[in-house]
Structure 1
């Protein structure tokens, strides 16, 4: 009985306690602009009870009946303590801390206030960044920061080129990415953009030198979202939409191509009516054409009676054995329309976070899927991230791990061997399918699952394969990747202000690609046997760093001292094997052992290991709010160099003077909130050359060159070793020395912000390869310290925001300019490093006095109008006459030879820029973002195929309609001449203005009323409509002016920049999205 009484009393007190809880709600806004502040921390003082505001700035919190105090905090605003009293509703207006700019940013193993930064650092608005749907964070970075150049290859899951303040080397110019303290120089495709909390770009040596060995090309620091003290919160984000192809090239149809062939033969002095230039066309004396009804076998008129399609027919009436009988498309096949289609894109994101004073967590899951506008190309990614942090007394431990799996299907390069280039080249008379209509899966009747396509097999049809056939047959060639990225850490607060931290980071990437290549019997250069390649890559990096940080204030003097060590080990292994002669094409039989043993080829494997050990220290000093100074010293040792040159020492310093703290500047504070001058100087090192064993001379077995019959019996072959690589024992670090002068200004009570940086960046001891005499041997040429490169420029950032009643607006612009120049190569003014060659000689060259990868060839001064001009023009052999290109005589000897080739242009822009506009009224918000480049040139290699007499295939409208026809014509292109083998030389004709401005993103967002959402227990909700890449303003005639590197690798690819070989074009996207908070 007594026990039951106690239980009853206890229950009554429990009920009374529940009744005593009050539900407090409110809204938090910006005091100056009256706009809601999302993500504000609202904590009941002295307890672990708390929450954060939703997208509309609202919060709800259970509080005790007795009066309490709310502690409200938000980055960039003054922290407030508000008495609750007897109120059930509390609205709070927070004042921005524009004077002290207390936003905390990560700048190198530690964080500091934005106002105290003295180096060149750009803080990226991550809300604006992630508004652009993309698989990669680096793609989103385009146009967001002054001085940062981004080039995309635009394919689903494709790579990017990111360059900060120009190009410091002919080797790797990729920046270092540091994600939650773990360094990487990968593509970042494994990182879910929605997980990003903050991003900073360290652009000069004084800011980046703390990362030493890999910071020569700048550093991008990314911090992911972490749990916060307060009630659990759940977010869900979703968008879906469609992507559509943009601009296409204007090419000839079948009839127009016939006219081109006729006029080209006339121009060569031939008689097309007597000797047809193509068996598909017949011409009478007036140039009227008759097109064949069948292009393979070539038949004019109907097929002979009784002749029908089989897989293999031999009919004497046709004069040959024929496969895949193909009708001529007399109107012309629009091959670009065939391979490009609208495609879907979608993204699903869910996250949860919360915690207490002693434990915090943040977890998320993401699924991203993007089909390409190029048929049978796609990318999808699944990722899961977990971040937890536990504190017990003075010890904090935690981890941040991301697991992801992705699949990429489609083309793997942007060179001339891709389906886009094939669609430009292939003859329009060729239909998509032969008379069977193609495979049954594509609506045809062919008995083979992969045949029934039409192609270039036949006379005068060129060698370009059917691009749709290639895409369809290779649609199951997928690159699969498994990725693990993250770190585990422990931190100890030893004494007040003294903190020790250790962190172990891991990056693990394993990729597998199986490539199966079908026979393509319809192609002129057909694959006569099916084959399969298997490629496996493993890339692993382990990072362990330890730091000791001490912060102390002595009166008006503030000190922050950081000491640390870092050790990095990397391992890369690759395996590749192939076989041919598979009996079946079915997916179930696509493994190497199913192929013919006789078809085994190209089996091989390789591995690379590197190590890096570093010691570093940094001192931050502040005198009041007036004077700021940073001093950094780092010592790096790399296994890529010999023991004598293994270590490099890289110092840096920067100082800042806050002018608004000077007495004579006090009267300006009504307008000028903050004005700071900055100066920085520092050195960073670069070790990233393609050959990780460059220091060593290597020998290897080579049966073709060093297997000898020592005993002369023919049965005693003994293998020896050959020199395969010359080592450079004297190779040492590339050194990048940077000087930066900066100005930061905040005006009009924080409404206007202005940033200006002037910089001079010089690379010395640049490592590169210079040819050696062949008499020295045939081994790989080593990288030697023989070059210097300079980059000079400036960055400007300007942002303004204001509010009038319920209407608010903001605008921003960033602007970056750099001038790149090779100072010297091997102390030889004529030394030249050439770029890649295709069917043309090298199109680019790097030499002293010019930018890296400048275009190299002949200058063309238009088309010779008449005979008088031809007589006066310098002669290019027998080529020069009226209606031909007028090549410039650079050396003045009166004739055109290879000696007249010179630097003809540059892929480097005069400047790049980004523009952002945001307007809002009550619950509606409109954001417009655009970016562009100005003054760069693109080498339009596509013109080699479309504008000149090269391989049989299609041509541009320009070639037919804008070529020279008669004496006196002011023409764009030379006379049509099927015997012309000179006009297509590398020349300035291929160069086009690559300037463009693109409306990158337009988004209209509506925030649903909180009162409505409370009924369904939803904390916040937004719906938005978005358009991406809606408008592009450019004079460039190619598919897209946003040209990436030829390939997205890091090895010497900058030597090939700016060349368009039929690159994947950007798509226009139309999306609808939803965001929910619970």
Structure 2
């Protein structure tokens, strides 16, 4: 179906294009009646260098060409024609041919203020120099020359104050945070594509379709989107056609390989593991198991089996992307068609994860007198296998307790467990050289002994080969707009005054099919469960979103006064349906349908969300010196009760262009822009789920007495907060924009402070409330974020050597100022959230070294001179600080150890061009934060029989006392406390990542004749290196809202090498 749909979309889009081309061809036929001549010329820049790629166009026709590598062009036109010469970043030049064959040298003067001069903001556009809010304009022209699989990753290290983090799982959505953590719920920004709000994910869109990209960071810029803009807004416009341009076909594509870096964790081989087992059992005063005891006749040399689980579990992945773009237009219409295919095979052996995506897009515009029509259609099809393998232990756990994540299994399984059975070469679950082989009826080995016990880990190869989890998503987004020039409609068109009415309509539909099969083999670690425990789940999700917007826009100039007013109304309705069938105990051979299972069940869910809004904005500037903007939006959401449904979200901002003042003494070339700006606004967040304010009646054996009669009825079982309100964010922003040397050098500085109020937070329900739920969601928390953002850009376009360098730097300070009704702190894995602290700060014990003797244990005193009792401590154990000076090591001695939220983010991006070659470099990093890595903590655990770090061989013994590695033991019996979370498990996570290096070469057009141009080949290396002390994968992994900096075995981001080509014809 997906191929048929793409073909139909292509045919539909070509219809108006063919019509336009037909009309233009007719016009060309008439032109043959006039005299035509061949003209030649050379286009150069202001420094005298040839300017390849400049466009030469005869207005009102499709006649045109582009200059070659030497800046020359040849074109056949009427003798009396007028030509327009244009080039990005230069002022347009108009030339009258006047019968001349030689037009000579044409000089294009740099006008760097044209670059990004007009930017897209909410419901309109503005000149960049007139912006009073904090808006980051991303240079997509440069990013298009770098390979990206997701639009969000295009922002990595490019925008100050924007943090992009992701793991390496194919198809995974990056975590995007703009100016820190603003909510305990979702922190993702709102994405707006071609004017249509798309929610908080755009994975289904192709990065190759992007034309412009802006990030609205402060309240004044984002307030026009009201309740959906609390986490910022990313505004995207897709590629459009161009008027009076012949059909142009562009191809871009690449293929590459992904490889996960080995050796990140220095784990033991089987010989070293055997040494560790002997040490651990001896320290526990237990006999070493015969299989690991060289003195036993049953001893099996651990070297017989030496499994490198990393090498067994990981492979080289393949990725590829192919994109075709068709564009053009006539005198009154434009069209742009994009077809894109992306595929990425995961780097794990087995059934995934893999990701595949098809995208088709059509954009059309057409003018008819005073009406401009625009349509956009996007269709995407994605197929993802075995997603979330890194953290998704929920579908590989059975009746014997929760298991470790699948990803962790590949890194912590003992080397003495075989990956395969050598006799049949089938996957072998937990077979050790020190065990007796046994096989079930399916040929897979089982293992359990007094060495490994219940490892809570399955053979990762077995799991990833037998587990099936798949999601197929089809999505179509269709939008259209009609803009009516009201003054032109009544015959009062005026260059200084415009008054437009615009109707926006959009509709999106998403169909998703989910499939999960969990065999019995991978659900238990001690033995295989019976087939009655395996389960199959098949589900269908259906999501639709309809949007209607009515907008009135007035733009007028009265002398030196310039007004722009927007008034509007929007209405959005979302419907969500799910239906899931589950089956247990399937027949063999497997025919995986729920209907074939012995036991079946089904669940369904349906919800509706409606958002009605009214918007207004006034932009005013006087003499392009004094700038003012005021915005207000009123939102009403069905997610809230009728008493709290409506909210006001206002903002105001102002700017002063100091360089335009008569008293400003500096030469305009030296400083061409000096703007001071400030803003204040309030935003909202209604991303709280449906029906949370509504109570649900429970039917049961409830009997009530009414008179002499007993009546059975229903009652409210859960305590519900009917007064849930909007989350609100109040933000103050002060900024300075500086442009020097005609914008060759640009500075942008922003300081902001944001207060997030009425945050939704789970509060304990009193035990005497008579409710079944233990917590209820309330607007009961407040959090502050503040920081400084700095951006500097330098552009040098002189001679053959040209380069651009951009650096950004931002700081972040986070603090929780209110938490719940009672103010009690919240505890999570290794972290605590408490008033006056950063959200999710690490919380544990202070490490004071290792006990060297029993005498030291018995005579240790605290600051008060009291003896300290650390229960169960033995020589070689970790000593913890008695912070509360009560003479006991208890939970009360825990304290805050640091934060997983980086205090500083930075990025450096550079691009160089020289005689057809181009080189780009992208780096980013962070500092001032700590990380806890689950795999690293497990490998450094002082007991247990999972594999360990080689460093554990240096553990304390009476013969090895000069070490910082505590003693090890078989089990935690005897109150061994070495694994209590302390600062010794924290890692300094400061890092610098070389995210992308691309080297390309642009061939001269004359090499390929007149039918092929813009030929470029390139090689790209992504995730090339990370400079950090961190032990583990993905130092930039975001973690959870309450557990930032806690990496629970995320999927490793691979190093990628790609080769690509671009060309046009």
TM-score class, shorter-chain normalisation, is 0.7 to 0.9
Asked whether the equivalents of residues 209 and 682 of structure 1 are also in contact (C-alpha less than 8 Å), the reply is yes
- Aligned twin of 2:157: 143
Q: Name which of 296, 303, 309 aligns with 1:335.
A: 309
- The secondary structure found in structure 1 opposite 2:472 is strand
* Structure 1 stretches lacking a partner, 5+ long: 1-10, 294-327, 711-716, 836-841, 1046-1052
- Aligned twin of 1:1012: 1007
Q: Name which of 257, 261, 274 aligns with 1:246.
A: 261
Asked whether the equivalents of residues 455 and 465 of structure 1 are also in contact (C-alpha less than 8 Å), the reply is no
- Aligned twin of 1:380: 356
Per-residue deviation, residues 989-1045 of structure 1 (Å, max 9, x unmatched): 322112211111111111111111216x20221111111111111111112312133
CA distance in 2: counterparts of 1:183 and 1:484, whole angstroms:
14
- Aligned twin of 1:481: 473
- The secondary structure found in structure 2 opposite 1:665 is coil
CA distance in 2: counterparts of 1:29 and 1:208, whole angstroms:
41
What does 1:896-907 align with in structure 2 at a 5 Å threshold?
896-907=889-900
Q: In the TM superposition, what is the alpha-carbon distance from 1:1061 to its structure 2 partner?
A: 1.8
Once structures 1 and 2 are overlaid, which stretch shifts more, 124-133 or 380-389?
A: 124-133
- Aligned twin of 1:1064: 1051
CA distance in 1: counterparts of 2:104 and 2:566, whole angstroms:
42
- Aligned twin of 1:1035: 1029
What does 1:613-1012 align with in structure 2 at a 5 Å threshold?
613-689=612-688, 691-701=689-699, 706=701, 721=714, 723-776=716-769, 777-779=771-773, 781-826=775-820, 828=822, 830-835=823-828, 842-867=829-854, 869-870=856-857, 871-872=859-860, 875=868, 877-949=870-942, 951-963=944-956, 966=959, 968-976=961-969, 978=971, 979=973, 981-1012=976-1007
Q: In the TM superposition, what is the alpha-carbon distance from 1:57 to its structure 2 partner?
A: 9.3
Q: In the TM superposition, what is the alpha-carbon distance from 1:595 to its structure 2 partner?
A: 1.5
CA distance in 2: counterparts of 1:129 and 1:463, whole angstroms:
45
CA distance in 2: counterparts of 1:82 and 1:100, whole angstroms:
20
- The secondary structure found in structure 2 opposite 1:952 is coil
Asked whether the equivalents of residues 616 and 632 of structure 2 are also in contact (C-alpha less than 8 Å), the reply is yes
Q: Name which of 384, 394, 405 aligns with 1:408.
A: 384
CA distance in 2: counterparts of 1:556 and 1:1057, whole angstroms:
51
Cα 1:1055/1:408, change in 2 over 3 Å:
same
Cα 1:585/1:994, change in 2 over 3 Å:
farther
Q: Does 2:420 match 1:433?
A: yes
Cα 1:357/1:260, change in 2 over 3 Å:
same
Q: Does 2:271 match 1:255?
A: yes
- The secondary structure found in structure 1 opposite 2:186 is coil
Cα 1:950/1:127, change in 2 over 3 Å:
farther
What does 1:12-411 align with in structure 2 at a 5 Å threshold?
17=32, 20-24=35-39, 30-31=45-46, 34=49, 36=51, 38=53, 42-45=56-59, 47-51=60-64, 53=66, 63-73=76-86, 76-85=89-98, 86-87=100-101, 92-98=106-112, 103-229=117-243, 230-247=245-262, 248-270=264-286, 275-276=287-288, 278=289, 280-284=291-295, 291-292=299-300, 330-375=304-349, 376-411=352-387
- The count of residues paired between Structure 1 and Structure 2 equals 990
Asked whether the equivalents of residues 153 and 1044 of structure 1 are also in contact (C-alpha less than 8 Å), the reply is no
Q: In the TM superposition, what is the alpha-carbon distance from 1:52 to its structure 2 partner?
A: 6.7
Q: In the TM superposition, what is the alpha-carbon distance from 1:1073 to its structure 2 partner?
A: 0.5
Asked whether the equivalents of residues 1013 and 1020 of structure 1 are also in contact (C-alpha less than 8 Å), the reply is no
CA distance in 2: counterparts of 1:783 and 1:398, whole angstroms:
43
Per-residue deviation, residues 910-955 of structure 1 (Å, max 9, x unmatched): 1111111222211111111111111221122223422225553212
- The secondary structure found in structure 2 opposite 1:354 is strand
Asked whether the equivalents of residues 545 and 564 of structure 1 are also in contact (C-alpha less than 8 Å), the reply is yes
- The secondary structure found in structure 2 opposite 1:615 is strand
Asked whether the equivalents of residues 440 and 449 of structure 1 are also in contact (C-alpha less than 8 Å), the reply is no
Once structures 1 and 2 are overlaid, which stretch shifts more, 567-576 or 396-405?
A: 567-576
Asked whether the equivalents of residues 944 and 970 of structure 2 are also in contact (C-alpha less than 8 Å), the reply is no
- Aligned twin of 1:304: none
Cα 1:505/1:93, change in 2 over 3 Å:
farther
- The secondary structure found in structure 2 opposite 1:264 is helix
Cα 1:268/1:902, change in 2 over 3 Å:
same
CA distance in 2: counterparts of 1:965 and 1:688, whole angstroms:
58
- The secondary structure found in structure 1 opposite 2:421 is coil
Q: In the TM superposition, what is the alpha-carbon distance from 1:1058 to its structure 2 partner?
A: 2.1
- The secondary structure found in structure 1 opposite 2:776 is coil
Q: In the TM superposition, what is the alpha-carbon distance from 1:753 to its structure 2 partner?
A: 0.9
CA distance in 2: counterparts of 1:581 and 1:60, whole angstroms:
73
CA distance in 2: counterparts of 1:16 and 1:52, whole angstroms:
18
What does 1:462-473 align with in structure 2 at a 5 Å threshold?
462-473=455-466
Per-residue deviation, residues 411-459 of structure 1 (Å, max 9, x unmatched): 42532643221112322111111233334999xxx9x999555564455
- Aligned twin of 1:460: 451
Once structures 1 and 2 are overlaid, which stretch shifts more, 218-227 or 805-814?
A: 805-814
* Structure 2 stretches lacking a partner, 5+ long: 1-25, 394-403, 430-436, 488-492, 863-867
Cα 1:879/1:203, change in 2 over 3 Å:
same
CA distance in 1: counterparts of 2:124 and 2:297, whole angstroms:
76
Q: Does 2:511 match 1:524?
A: no
Asked whether the equivalents of residues 71 and 81 of structure 1 are also in contact (C-alpha less than 8 Å), the reply is yes
- The secondary structure found in structure 1 opposite 2:363 is strand
Q: Name which of 533, 538, 547 aligns with 1:534.
A: 538
Cα 1:14/1:410, change in 2 over 3 Å:
closer
Q: In the TM superposition, what is the alpha-carbon distance from 1:517 to its structure 2 partner?
A: 2.1
Q: TM-score scaled to structure 1, two decimals?
A: 0.87
- Aligned twin of 1:305: none
CA distance in 2: counterparts of 1:37 and 1:105, whole angstroms:
26
Once structures 1 and 2 are overlaid, which stretch shifts more, 1062-1071 or 801-810?
A: 801-810
- Aligned twin of 1:568: 572
- The secondary structure found in structure 2 opposite 1:433 is strand
CA distance in 1: counterparts of 2:704 and 2:290, whole angstroms:
56
Q: In the TM superposition, what is the alpha-carbon distance from 1:582 to its structure 2 partner?
A: 1.5
CA distance in 2: counterparts of 1:553 and 1:882, whole angstroms:
84
- Aligned twin of 2:408: 421
Asked whether the equivalents of residues 877 and 976 of structure 2 are also in contact (C-alpha less than 8 Å), the reply is no
Per-residue deviation, residues 685-717 of structure 1 (Å, max 9, x unmatched): 11112x42222222234x6xx47899xxxxxx9
Asked whether the equivalents of residues 685 and 734 of structure 1 are also in contact (C-alpha less than 8 Å), the reply is yes
Cα 1:172/1:728, change in 2 over 3 Å:
same
Cα 1:825/1:33, change in 2 over 3 Å:
farther
Cα 1:944/1:718, change in 2 over 3 Å:
farther
CA distance in 1: counterparts of 2:1043 and 2:712, whole angstroms:
39
- Aligned twin of 2:484: 492
- The secondary structure found in structure 1 opposite 2:276 is helix
Per-residue deviation, residues 124-182 of structure 1 (Å, max 9, x unmatched): 11133344433311123221110001110220001211000011121221111111111
Cα 1:251/1:73, change in 2 over 3 Å:
same
- The secondary structure found in structure 2 opposite 1:207 is helix
Q: In the TM superposition, what is the alpha-carbon distance from 1:668 to its structure 2 partner?
A: 3.2
Cα 1:790/1:574, change in 2 over 3 Å:
same
- Aligned twin of 1:600: 600
Cα 1:1072/1:653, change in 2 over 3 Å:
same
CA distance in 2: counterparts of 1:1057 and 1:600, whole angstroms:
40
